[in-house]
Amino acid sequence: MTPSTTHTAVPGALPPYRLPQRVTQLRVIRAEWTKLRTQPSAYWALLTSVILVVGFGIGYSLLRVARPPHGAAMASFDPAAISLSGVQLAQIAAGVLGVLLVTSEYATGLIRTTFVAVPRRLPMLWAKAALLAAAITAVSLPAAFAAFAGGQSILSRQDLSVPLSHPGVARAVIGSALYLAAVGLVGLGLGALIRNAAGGISALFGLLYGLPLAAGFLPGSLAADVTRYLPTGAGQTVTTVQPDSTMLHPWSGFGVLCAYAAVLLAVSAARMRRGDV
Amino acid sequence: MVARQTDLDHSELTMAANRLDAVRFAEVMRSTYKDISRISIGQSCAAGADFPTKAGLRTPATPERRAVSVIAMIEIHELTKTYGSTTAVSNLTFTVRPGVVTGFLGPNGAGKTTTMRMILGLDEPTSGSVLVNGRPPRSHAAPLQEIGGMLDPRAVHPSRSAYHHLLAIAQTSGIRKGRVDQVIDAVGLRSVAIRRAGKFSLGMSQRLGIAAALLGDPATVVLDEPVNGLDVEGIRWIRGMLQDLAAEGKTVFVSSHLMSEVAQTATQLIVIGRGQLIADTSMDEFMAAAAPISVRVRSSDQDALARMLRAPGVTVTQAADGALTFSGVSAGQVGAVAGAAGITVLELATEQASLEDVFVRLTQNAVEYRAGT
């Protein structure tokens, strides 16, 4: 048995590769970008997010223009928030994308190939976080503006609309996109921690919807005190214009949501850095 | 034919000795200057010459900028790995050297994959150490240049194309696109490179996994069961590929649970069972030590022949059909003694246990132990 006659199936021998190699954070970001743009589920999640932001925002505006507010309700009427109400649904798509971005690697075993190439591991997590936040913001920002423009043009039929120049309105529109990006990072943190799509998505739903429900059962003012600091209760302040006295200041609230994402990513990073894959 | 058996053993031993010299030579070259050793042992290209590429590379690498490894080998020292109360790998110590294909053999569940995961830096040893090219596997700044590995060929995103799968891996180390095309061509996946990797057959997936392992032209290649489920052509291809890599001076470490597979590819052998080292030897030594050659003979006077051949170290057993089986003597010696005594030899044959027999016998205890727990 001689090697030269045994592998006729090989079209060409492999030349040596003598160029310098080194893992850098920037290169890992480039690699993760290649993965993201060749992962169909990412497109679906982002498309779903856009459809929900624009579609639900316009739909709810149509509903409210048919049933305009009267009397006291007029004072708390928030036309910007109504046109941006799709964000409450789109956060599922954004969060699930975050979960899937990392759990899909664990599910297929690709994570081991990735970690052989990036043995320090954490550059992969930071790259995914940066690209996820950038991708969601890039897609959600135009969607939020479209939803706002569409919603306001509908609400203007009953003179209920508000201009973008009105105090807090531009912040709410931009804040909606940032909110979705932050929820995506919460999903990424959960996915990296739990390493399983079903578990990660369940935890995401618990955090986004379960906790506020549970907090609602708390007695009296305690409910408001707790809700104020939950991811959704805190984060959504940045997507509304009308100030709610029981809630945090918009940017403080958004900061609390970002802190949730940061803590989850830090804990999952600590787990990822050491241990078995 | 039969009488030449001992001569053959000698010549093979000489060859093995020569091979060891070649290995040492490769090591010295590598430790002195990695790039030079690669060029001189590997492709016959002129030093400094660039390879053709579609990416239009600017200049060849300046040698100083490439990290230089101390010695391209895998050194495992008192390695132990436990999962809860289960001990997967227990106190393993061995070294895998460059320039030859080293087979890593053991029954299913012996701890081969666990060991390879620790070599690749994916699992942390409970105790003991792993060094790849002189350093812990996770401490290399240019990991794909030091170690290429394949554990599970199905570990790809099913809807990503083979090309983009490889491109993403290459990009982590700044490896050029041209190299991705080179490995795709080398493993014969050109025609399916843009197809979704999830649709690949097992054979194509194995080729893709090997392509990924070779992207960085690594000094050490670790492949877990690379021939599993392959057709004849695929098996032959992988054998040739492994031998070519070893001939380039790389350290090639390949696991298998089939002795026959390893026998046809590897020259060095590590055998483990129940997570423990059973053998660390050359293929030839392993064969000679574990499977002694015996001589089966039928003659006109069996009793006289047995009497005449009686000597220290010679054992004889009688089969049901009357044939005698000697060990400790060669067929030539038996024939010569019989001839001198005027005994007519009716049948004379050299017998050797098959490799599979040897392997099963060696690892039997381990398997029984596992089955009993």
pLDDT given for residue B359 in this prediction = 76
pLDDT given for residue B117 in this prediction = 96
CB atoms under 10 Å from CB of A166, counted, come to 13
Instruction: Compare A70 and A52 and report the one with higher pLDDT.
Output: A52
Nearest chain A Cα to B156, which residue?
A: A110
Contact A23 B45 (CB under 8 A): no
pLDDT given for residue B90 in this prediction = 94
Q: A33 near A126, Cβ under 8 Å? A: no
Q: Is the pLDDT of residue B63 over 50?
A: no
pLDDT given for residue A172 in this prediction = 96
pLDDT 10s digits, B146-158? 999 999 999 999 9
Nearest chain A Cα to B142, which residue?
A: A22
**A115 phi-psi bin (left φ>0, alpha ψ -120 to 50, beta other):** alpha
Give the whole-angstrom CA distance, residue A240 versus residue A229: 16
CA distances from B360 to A35, B268, B363 (A): 44, 18, 5
Among the partner residues A13, A30, A117, nearest to B144 by beta-carbon distance: A117
Residue A3 lies in a domain: no
Query: Residues of A with CB below 8 A from B244's CB?
Result: 3, 7, 13
Q: Is the pLDDT of residue B32 over 70?
A: no
> What is the average pLDDT value for chain A, to the nearest integer?
92
Over the Cα atoms of chain A, what is R_g? 23
Q: Is the pLDDT of residue B22 over 80?
A: no
pLDDT band for B7, please (50, 70, 90 cuts): very low
Measure in Å the smallest separation between the Cα of B116 and chain A Cα atoms: 12
pLDDT band for A250, please (50, 70, 90 cuts): very high
Cβ partners under 8 Å of residue B74, min gap 6: B95, B96, B119, B130, B131, B132, B220, B222, B251, B253
Cβ partners under 8 Å of residue A44, min gap 6: none
pLDDT band for B287, please (50, 70, 90 cuts): confident
Q: Please compute the mean of the pLDDT values over residues A220-247 and round it to a whole number.
A: 90
Give the whole-angstrom CA distance, residue A195 versus residue B146: 28
Q: Please compute the mean of the pLDDT values over residues A100-109 and round it to a whole number.
A: 96
Cβ partners under 8 Å of residue B29, min gap 6: B36, B37, B40, B41, B249
Residue A15 lies in a domain: no
Q: Please compute the mean of the pLDDT values over residues A56-74 and round it to a whole number.
A: 90
pLDDT 10s digits, B313-322? 888 888 888 8
Among the partner residues B140, B160, B179, nearest to A39 by beta-carbon distance: B160
Contact B169 A22 (CB under 8 A): no
Give the whole-angstrom CA distance, residue A263 versus residue A266: 5
pLDDT 10s digits, B72-117? 799 999 999 999 999 999 999 999 999 999 999 988 889 999 999 9
Instruction: Determine what percent of chain A is predicted with pLDDT higher than 70.
Output: 96
CB atoms under 10 Å from CB of A174, counted, come to 17
Among the partner residues B137, B182, B238, nearest to A14 by beta-carbon distance: B182
Q: A225 near A146, Cβ under 8 Å? A: no
Instruction: Compare B257 and B13 and report the one with higher pLDDT.
Output: B257
pLDDT given for residue A220 in this prediction = 82
Q: Please compute the mean of the pLDDT values over residues A141-160 and round it to a whole number.
A: 95
**E-strand spans in A24-125?**
none
Q: Please compute the mean of the pLDDT values over residues A155-161 and round it to a whole number.
A: 92
Q: Please compute the mean of the pLDDT values over residues A145-160 and round it to a whole number.
A: 95
pLDDT band for B20, please (50, 70, 90 cuts): very low
Q: Is the pLDDT of residue A11 over 80?
A: no
Measure in Å the smallest separation between the Cα of A149 and chain B Cα atoms: 36
Q: Is the pLDDT of residue A163 over 60?
A: yes
β-sheet bridge partners, residue B296: B325, B349
pLDDT given for residue A103 in this prediction = 97
* Phi and psi, residue B75, nearest 5°: -120, 120
Cβ partners under 8 Å of residue B367, min gap 6: B107, B273
Residue A244 lies in a domain: yes
pLDDT band for B351, please (50, 70, 90 cuts): confident
Q: Which two tokens stand for residue B306?
A: 């047995």
A87-91, A157-161, B47-51, B113-117, range with the lowest pLDDT: B47-51
Q: Is the pLDDT of residue A207 over 80?
A: yes
**Amino acid type, B53:** T
Q: Please compute the mean of the pLDDT values over residues B288-314 and round it to a whole number.
A: 84
- B156 burial type by CB count under 10 A (0-12 exposed, 13-18 middle, 19+ buried): buried
Instruction: Determine what percent of chain B is predicted with pLDDT higher than 70.
Output: 76
Q: A138 near A104, Cβ under 8 Å? A: no
Helix (H) or strand (E) holding A170: helix A169-194
pLDDT given for residue B367 in this prediction = 53
pLDDT band for A127, please (50, 70, 90 cuts): very high
Give the whole-angstrom CA distance, residue B33 versus residue B199: 43
Query: Taking Cα atoms as reference points, which of A239, A265, A264 lies closest to residue A140?
Result: A239
Residue A63 lies in a domain: yes
Query: Taking Cα atoms as reference points, which of B247, B282, B290 lies closest to residue B266?
Result: B282
pLDDT given for residue A164 in this prediction = 94
- List % helix, strand, coil for chain A (3-state, nearest 5): 75, 0, 25
pLDDT given for residue B1 in this prediction = 39
Q: B192 near B202, Cβ under 8 Å? A: no
**E-strand spans in B84-159?**
86-96, 101-105, 127-132, 147-150
Residue A65 lies in a domain: yes
Q: B239 near B245, Cβ under 8 Å? A: no
> What is the average pLDDT value for chain B, to the nearest integer?
80
pLDDT given for residue B8 in this prediction = 38
Contact B151 A28 (CB under 8 A): no
Q: How far apart are the first and last CA of chain A?
A: 39
Q: A137 near A178, Cβ under 8 Å? A: yes
> Domain tally for chain A?
1
Q: Which domains does chain B have, with CATH numbers?
A: 73-289 (3.40.50.300), 292-351 (3.30.70)
Give the whole-angstrom CA distance, residue A208 versus residue A173: 20
Collapse the DSSP code of B322 into the 3-class scheme (helix H, G, I; strand E, B; otherwise coil) and give the result: coil
Measure in Å the smallest separation between the Cα of A181 and chain B Cα atoms: 24
A87-108 helix and A169-194 helix, angle to the nearest 10 degrees:
30
Domain span at residue A132 reads 25-273
Q: Is the pLDDT of residue A30 over 80?
A: yes
Give the whole-angstrom CA distance, residue A234 versus residue A248: 6
Query: Residues of A with CB below 8 A from B171's CB?
Result: 27-28, 30-31, 34
Give the whole-angstrom CA distance, residue A71 versus residue B327: 109
pTM assigned to the model: 0.81
Instruction: Compare A244 and A18 and report the one with higher pLDDT.
Output: A18
Query: Residues of A with CB below 8 A from B169's CB?
Result: 31, 113-114, 117
Contact B167 A34 (CB under 8 A): yes
pLDDT given for residue A261 in this prediction = 98
Measure in Å the smallest separation between the Cα of A126 and chain B Cα atoms: 13
Strands B101-105 and B294-299, bridge-based pairing = unpaired
Instruction: Compare B299 and B258 and report the one with higher pLDDT.
Output: B299
A87-108 helix and A122-155 helix, angle to the nearest 10 degrees:
160
pLDDT given for residue B43 in this prediction = 35
Residue A188 lies in a domain: yes
Query: Best mutation site among A18, A39, A112 for testing chain B: the one with the most B CBs within 10 Å?
Result: A18
Q: Which two tokens stand for residue A80?
A: 């910007």
Strands B127-132 and B324-327, bridge-based pairing = unpaired
pLDDT band for A165, please (50, 70, 90 cuts): very high
Q: Which two tokens stand for residue B251?
A: 């350290």
Contact B188 A10 (CB under 8 A): yes
Q: Is the pLDDT of residue A85 over 70?
A: yes
Helix (H) or strand (E) holding B252: strand B251-256
Q: Is the pLDDT of residue B10 over 80?
A: no
Cβ partners under 8 Å of residue B269, min gap 6: B102, B103, B105, B262, B279, B280, B281, B282, B283, B286
* Phi and psi, residue A274, nearest 5°: -115, 170
Q: Please compute the mean of the pLDDT values over residues A65-89 and round it to a whole number.
A: 89
pLDDT band for A12, please (50, 70, 90 cuts): low
Q: B72 near B30, Cβ under 8 Å? A: yes
Q: Please compute the mean of the pLDDT values over residues B312-331 and round it to a whole number.
A: 85
